[in-house]
Structure 1
Amino acid sequence: MARTKEFDPDAALQAALELFWARGYEATSMADLVEHLGIGRASVYATFGSKHELYMKALDRYLESRDPRITEELSAPGPALPAVRALVRRFAAEAGTDGVRQNGCLVTNSATELAPHDGAVARRVELSWEQVETLLHSALSRARAQGELPAGRDPRALARMLLVLMQGLRVVGKASGDPSRVRDAAEQALALLD
């Protein structure tokens, strides 16, 4: 007879996500996971597979919980440019908090730590970026069609610039304790939408 799980796999996955997000993949050992999740090593392997498989499941969970909010913000009816501005400002605000080091964005962290040599991570990162770029492009195209954005502006190029900016805000926010750095950069980029 198979034993029943004596832990909540959903709660364990969330705990693993938080640990990977705070420490990164390489700095998180299997012993760290066992301790943080409060379950045995055999249970971790039986439920989630290897450390890499657990990381991928945690990254998938992160993507599922983050991207829908961006979709809602950029797809709302009405003027599109205020939604784009609000999104960039939210990224800047989340990235820059006085004197408090942030975990950054798990997608951005994965891009810098693992994507250069891990194809599975690279594919998830690229898919996430493509989704955000597409949403920005759509919102900026609507803004141009509604007369909010000057006719000569290229919505695709602006969407790419904002995507790169938002990812950069996460990196700088994680490494710097100076929130004015990310706020100033965001505002300068948003000035290009005028």
Structure 2
Amino acid sequence: MARPREFDADEAVERAKCLFWDQGFHATSVSDLAGALGLGAGSLYAAFGSKEGLYQRALERYCEEQPAALIEALDCADGIRAGLRGILVGLMEMDLAEPRGCFLVNATVERDDHPATIDRVSATLARVESALTGALERAKAGGELGVDKDPAALARFFLTFIQGLRVVGQARLGRAAVESAIASALTVLD
């Protein structure tokens, strides 16, 4: 009879996510992970298969959480402009407060040659773009956007702007510069 696991796999993935986010994939050793998770290397391998397997689970966790928060913000906002502004300002505030940046951006840059990582990032970006397109289509149907506005093109623009905003946030250009860029970006809705 197999011994029951003596750790919470969900909590382990959360801790691993934080460690990979702080240090990156390459700088995080199996020893670092085992220590942070309170597991021996053998238990880590038994539970997740490999450092890579644990990384993919951690990235998957992040990729589930972040789009869900964006979708909720769009759904709860009082209008598309307020929703997008809230999202963009919220991301700016996170980047000003948190030096580690966006895990999705970090994964893309560090592991651009790893197919599973790029597939996960691409799927997440497609989900965000789809949510943005849907919100912009609803805004157009509700008269918030002009008839000449293309919701899909605007969604691609905002997706690109969001990712650029996350990179600029890591460069620490400052609140005034980012607020100015956000104000300019929102003019595409006029």
TM-score, length basis structure 2? 0.90
Counterpart selection for 1:168 from 154, 161, 164: 164
Alignment-mate amino acid for residue 143 of structure 2: G
Larger relative helix fraction: 2
Alignment check: 8 A CA contact 2:88 2:162 kept: yes
In the TM superposition, what are the counterparts of 1:111-130 in structure 2 within 5 Å? 111-114=108-111, 116-130=112-126
Q: Give the corresponding residue for 1:190.
A: 186
Deviations 1:112-158 (Å, cap 9, x if unpaired)? Answer: 111x2111111111111111111111111222222212222222121
Q: 1:96 is paired with a residue of what secondary structure?
A: helix
Instruction: Give the superposition deviation at 1:77.
Output: 7.9
Counterpart selection for 2:146 from 150, 159, 164: 150
Instruction: Give the superposition deviation at 1:71.
Output: 1.8
Q: Give the gaps of 5 or more residues in structure 1.
A: none
CA RMSD of aligned residues (A): 1.9
Q: Give the gaps of 5 or more residues in structure 2.
A: none
Q: Give the corresponding residue for 1:67.
A: 67
Instruction: Give the superposition deviation at 1:177.
Output: 5.9
Alignment check: 8 A CA contact 2:95 2:170 kept: yes
Q: Which region of structure 1 is more displaced relative to structure 2, 46-55 or 32-41? A: 32-41
Identical-residue share of aligned pairs (%): 41
CA distance in 1, matches of 2:86, 2:185: 13
TM-score, length basis structure 1? 0.89
Q: Give the corresponding residue for 2:89.
A: 89
Asked which structure has the greater RCO (Cα within 8 Å, sep 6+), the reply is: 1
Alignment-mate amino acid for residue 62 of structure 1: Y
Alignment check: 8 A CA contact 1:75 1:135 kept: no
Q: Which region of structure 1 is more displaced relative to structure 2, 120-129 or 29-38? A: 29-38
Instruction: Give the superposition deviation at 1:4.
Output: 2.8
CA distance in 1, matches of 2:77, 2:62: 26
Q: 2:157 is paired with a residue of what secondary structure?
A: helix
